Chains A and B, each alone.
Chain A
């Protein structure tokens, strides 16, 4: 498209600030396009002249589509503009590689409407932002998947993760877009869930643009330029782009849908598994002075005999005593509770405790199920108490000898002691949807107190 050279007339100077649209109209009055109708050349298939292999890539159309994508999803602008467009006659439709190049087939671009291309831009960049290639590689390694068909399933799973909330709100769902619903699967899952949990029926029709390239499933394609090719992004540059997109979403969270907001929160700070966190909280609680194995000069070391005149400390291992208070008043499932208890017991043993050093107190009538789990784990279940956790704390602290650490497993719907107990406290909090009491709208359970180390479980 070339611009007609019409000199600006004098009317220019009397008008208020023009927009480029005005400037364009002013300069090229004769090439104004007709209003958008179903007969619009962008919308319909153009009459084909000559063999398809000889037509050049319609860059203008792709750039217009990218512009529309940027307008519909401003928070993805950085990522969309970071993609480098490469014409390829080998790529079936459009695809991305791991170095953030976007390959487009001229024939496909010609056949596809601008608005569909805009959605495909967003789809492809989502593969890269969500690191689907890296996650595919990890899945392949963890699950031992080496079959090419497995990579196709990864691409499908990745598409499902993206497409369930990518379209709408300014973007159309392109023809042939694969959604979980199309495959009869639940929405809102992660790629890993789709891959592990469901089997795909690949004979279904409509799986038209499935090859999203190496950026989606981690396998190099013949048309890709590879890590040494031109215009690729290095690992650090890719991280920087993803970081800036995440920063933009976190800065103005109102504009982005929940899926992208969650991505932005977790992309560089993935949530840690609660087992690790609970273990760390317990280890650091029992490793404080006075508990666990540590050095003391209270008694000379065995080495001392060989080194007259040298005063050596000795390693005294005083196993930590752990009291676990279980709040069974809430809707804590036996399975969750059991796994949390086993975790506590295992850590107690690992840091030097013995079976009899871990005591469990339950705070409600559901002690039976807890008892069974605890017997299986070899933990004796002692005592009981009310639904008020404060009595649980008191009971735990009354046991003699006094515990070094109190671990409380609760859903948090309880009053807490007002003063810190005389030992370290770890609170394992089962995540629950907030319960609202219609008779007592003012009631909000207190958050766990400051002096406790809190780990959210589940």
Chain B
């Protein structure tokens, strides 16, 4: 009798453990800059991701399990990002990671997620090397939800040369940024192919805040368009200082653009153009931005990051469902096989050879006289 009881007890313990195991949440890591220069972008992303997790959990989770979001701060530094990703994989045992938003960080973490067999989705890392290595081979565990710099550079060149009819371009870029270097390279290539001339190509370093020396050179070069392949703060300061120096060139930027630039640069922002992934009035995202405001009592100013984080989470959740289990390799396979997935801002199809989305439209934005960013045009890929 004692033996039977003991056996029953053991069976009971195992069952209880089994139940507990089944109910254990699916852990998803979120990598974002929560402090440092890019904190604005990162905080918005994590806020959006939390909203998604709350929604999914309220509906009972996925695969019968709740989701747990584990955010880590990159501090806008590659070395901190690398440590964060190691911890996510080794001690938190996340099944996948969403973020970060910057190319440099994703390039730095790519070998680690590959080794740890944990898929990572970059939100706005547009440099080609995020998903493909130097030799052109696809990185098996690195994905992105945004378009890439060759496409973005071409859009910017097209805008400057054809739409705005400017034939002499100047560039001001951060020499230490993978993102800026890449975007600049593709802009130059496409702009020159169209027939335009690069009359000034000026660099600055990560920590610089004063660009007046370079802008003076740019002004004297006679450029009629200034391309800024940079990030929010740098671009805003450059735009402000350009206005102070009386630079007349039209300013075109990339997707490092953020709404907080309007606060920094003020009226100098009027009439500037940006290439971007989405826009504030996107009908698919508008209700989500409205809810964001209700939940966080603040506008979703960094709406591009918000959108990519929101849809990035939904993409991952869809992949976990299709994989049928919360394990890295299976999720990576499901992410790779994504076809015609209807998200909120776009319909996503992934190219298995590059892990880049196919056929994503580019959006051109223009800052109006009221300092509100307005939709200028949408460019469907050829």
Does chain A bind chain B? no
